Amino acid sequence: LATPVVEGHRATRFGPLMARLGVDLDAAAARIHARGAVPVPVTGFYSRRDAVVAWQACLDPHPGARFTPVEVAAGHLAMVLDPRVLRLVARHL
């Protein structure tokens, strides 16, 4: 749920904090991009209302990715409590 597939912490509200702690966000994002598509089927739930993770980072842009994006209408933290989201998760299991 609302997990960045690309960009890592750079695509989250925690990016500035991680940078202040010494994490090289550009290097981390480059490592994530270099690994290519996730090799197993993945269903990714994301929301344009998410105020923690940029929704665009929750989509796998790699050619050949076995990735099924599912857009939901809930904020980042609300996803785990929203019955509509939980029903969608159950349906995709």
pLDDT digits (tens, 9 = 90+) for 23-77: 999 998 898 888 877 788 889 999 999 999 999 999 888 877 888 999 999 999 9
Domain boundaries of the chain, sorted by first residue: 8-92
- pLDDT for 61 equals 81
Which residue, chain included where needed, has tokens 């960009």?
Answer: 7
Residue 87 pLDDT > 90: yes
Check if the beta carbon of residue 54 is closer than 8 Å to that of residue 12.
Answer: yes
Q: What is the pTM of this model?
A: 0.81
Q: Are the C-beta atoms of residues 45 and 30 closer than 8 Å to each other?
A: no
**Spatial separation of the C-alpha atoms in residues 13 and 54, rounded to whole Å:** 8
CB 31 within 8 A of CB 2: no
Q: What pLDDT, in 10s, does the model give residues 63-83? A: 778 889 999 999 999 999 999
What pLDDT does residue 76 have? 94
Structure token pair of residue 90: 């159950």
Asked if residue 90 has pLDDT above 90, the reply is yes
Contact, 90 vs 64, CB < 8 A?
no
